Homo-oligomer: A and B are copies of this chain.
């Protein structure tokens, strides 16, 4: 199927932030973007090679880790043994106040106070507190299943309906054909979600084609300055004192800088964990085998351990 378009799985619905992340990270390709209703379906699509890639949220800068993603990466039943991380994408969460097309061509200055109902996902209200308190105090709020759904409702309004507004992305506005009364209405300018890009290591089609992300902010860093990140999961024998410290020491011994640690229950025995360690290095000839050597050493001090992939750091590039 090498002549076919690339297929990229994302977490639906259409016009969600995951859809936006998939569209932006594959902007330079003509990939076909495929919505999936749950995290497990997107992992399965990559394992079964029905999709070439999956774009999955793994962490938000305000809310922390996405445990559903960690649980799928933990892969306790060995369902996704060929799925590895091959890239990441940082999406800054910008919200707009969306209105039916053409209702306020002059934008916020022309707003007459006639919107009687607002729609968005429950998480988004709190992210736009200041704007809502200033312009929409006391206006009825209705929770919907996604920010995209709110934009859809506003797009389908008729003259007979009361006038509504939706909080969603500019991406959702374009998808549903509605106008932005105001953009960037979020309180925190730095609210960002990190997505992991997954591929199947047995798929020739994505092995030859090295995954290339668009260079952000016009930054033209050379390849050699880009850090490489690696994700490794392991479990340890908790009855052995110092076992966790010994495992973490191995990263340091091989010049790998720990950038994050997450834990999830092992579900084998209560109060035993699967650890997810992300580490980084600036690639050079001397540390070409650092990850391989660290994995070899880890196998000696852990109960189980798995290489979940290496990819180019996009954070250093984008900030």
Contact B245 A260 (CB under 8 A): no
Contact A270 B64 (CB under 8 A): no
Which of A10-18, A119-127, A157-165, A261-269 has 4 or more CB atoms under 8 Å from chain B? Answer: A261-269
Contact B270 A257 (CB under 8 A): no
Contact A64 B263 (CB under 8 A): yes
Contact B238 A245 (CB under 8 A): no
Contact A61 B263 (CB under 8 A): no
Chain B CB within 8 A of A315 CB: yes
The one of B61, B246, B273 in contact with A260, judged by C-beta atoms closer than 8 angstroms, is: B273
Chain B CB within 8 A of A190 CB: yes
Contact A252 B263 (CB under 8 A): no
Chain B CB within 8 A of A63 CB: yes
Contacts of A102 in B (CB 8 A): none
Contact B190 A264 (CB under 8 A): no
Contacts of A242 in B (CB 8 A): 252, 257-258
Interface residues of A in 263-287 (CB under 8 A from B): 263-265, 267, 269-271, 273, 275
Assuming A61-B271, A245-B251, A252-B245, is B262 touching A263 (CB within 8 A)? yes
Assuming A245-B251, A251-B245, is B190 touching A64 (CB within 8 A)? no
Contacts of A263 in B (CB 8 A): 64-65, 260-262
For chain A, give the interface size range: 35 or more
Interface residues of A in 63-106 (CB under 8 A from B): 63-65, 67
**What residue in chain B is nearest A258 (Cβ atoms)?**
B244
Q: How close is A90's CB to chain B, nearest CB, in angstroms?
A: 9
Contacts of A191 in B (CB 8 A): 270
Contacts of A275 in B (CB 8 A): 261
Contacts of A225 in B (CB 8 A): none
Q: How close is A72's CB to chain B, nearest CB, in angstroms?
A: 14
Assuming A245-B251, A252-B245, is B61 touching A265 (CB within 8 A)? yes
Contact B64 A265 (CB under 8 A): yes
Contact B265 A63 (CB under 8 A): yes
- Alpha-carbon gap, A241 to B61, bound state (A): 21
- Alpha-carbon gap, A273 to B270, bound state (A): 26
Contact B67 A264 (CB under 8 A): no
Interface residues of A in 217-259 (CB under 8 A from B): 238, 241-242, 244-246, 248-249, 251-252, 257-259
**What residue in chain B is nearest A60 (Cβ atoms)?**
B265
What are 16 contact pairs spanning A and B, CB under 8 A? A61-B265, A61-B270, A61-B271, A64-B264, A190-B270, A241-B257, A242-B252, A245-B248, A245-B251, A245-B258, A249-B249, A249-B252, A260-B263, A261-B261, A261-B263, A271-B315
Q: Which 5 A-B pairs have the closest CB atoms?
A: A61-B270, A245-B252, A241-B257, A244-B258, A190-B270
